[in-house]
Amino acid sequence: MATTFCLINQKGGCGKSSTCFHLAGAFAELGLKVLLLDMDPQGSLSQVFLGPEYVESLNNKQTMAMLFDECSFFDSHDRLFNPTKVTGITICPANQTLARFNVPEPENTGMSQFAVRDFVEQQSGFDIVLIDCPPNLYRCSWTAMVAADYVIIPVPPEDFGTQGLRAVHQCIQQARRLNPGLRRLGHLVTRCDSRLLVHQLYERKLREMYKEIVLDTVIPEASAFKVALTRRSPVQLNEPQSKAAKLTLCLAHEILERIDVNERKQRIA
């Protein structure tokens, strides 16, 4: 079965969607088959791969909203899968049709809490599943955590970026009641400008607080990422020799190494 990661944070603009986008390109470059699940009603990840007009035209039976719509319970999931122009990457999109299902207090939504997990377990032929979540801890993020093997928490090294991390950790702990195998892979420092003293201080503080569950790789605020987004091509394909592409590839390798270490620990235990 594929290894499933969800990217969560209550803060918008911390790099969840862009990390999914570029990281998928790095995994594909390594020869892995990647399935992207867009669980954010804003549909940013879907739009960058498939185009805004196409994504906005989709009905709920063509988006991840289908998993929560009782009227679609017996329908095939085939229409959810959209190949991208990047070999090895497939996306199941989202748009505004998902918004009405993203309710607070998701732990009270009964068996639908397992909707994404059941969907992921039915898939084959993929090595990696990346789930992009909205900037809240409502139903979409909750069901993603119930489905995931690992959580990655993108964190900009500044005050607004680090606010609310305690609530994120508490939500992960609660999700383990339904998914005991859920692990925090790590906090990912994103949108970092190493020239700024405040960014240096916040990164240092984050590493002091969370130690080994802060990923070694740091993702900078780089123009190469933004240019790649405008061209709808992960930086690994758009500018493979750029620092941004090399760091994204380092991140992919680090994630795979951390998974391997965890698996070895489990075998020993």
Q: Which amino acid is at 140?
A: C
Nearest-angstrom CA–CA distance, 227 and 64: 28
Beta bridge partners of 237: none
Domains of the chain: 3-268 (3.40.50.300)
Q: What is the pLDDT of residues 117-157, one digit of tens each?
A: 999 999 999 999 999 999 999 999 999 999 999 999 999 98
Q: What is the pLDDT of residues 11-48, one digit of tens each?
A: 888 999 999 999 999 999 999 999 999 999 999 999 99
Nearest-angstrom CA–CA distance, 229 and 74: 36
Contacts of 237 (CB under 8 A, 6+ apart): 25, 29, 86, 228
Q: For the CA atoms of the chain, what is the radius of gyration?
A: 18
| Single pTM value for the model | 0.94
Residue 212, Cβ density class (10 Å: 0-12 exposed, 13-18 middle, ≥19 buried) = exposed
Q: What is the pLDDT of residues 151-169, one digit of tens each?
A: 999 999 876 556 678 999 9
DSSP secondary structure letters along 158-180 = SHHHHTTHHHHHHHHHHHTTT-T
What local confidence, expressed as pLDDT, does residue 158 receive?
79
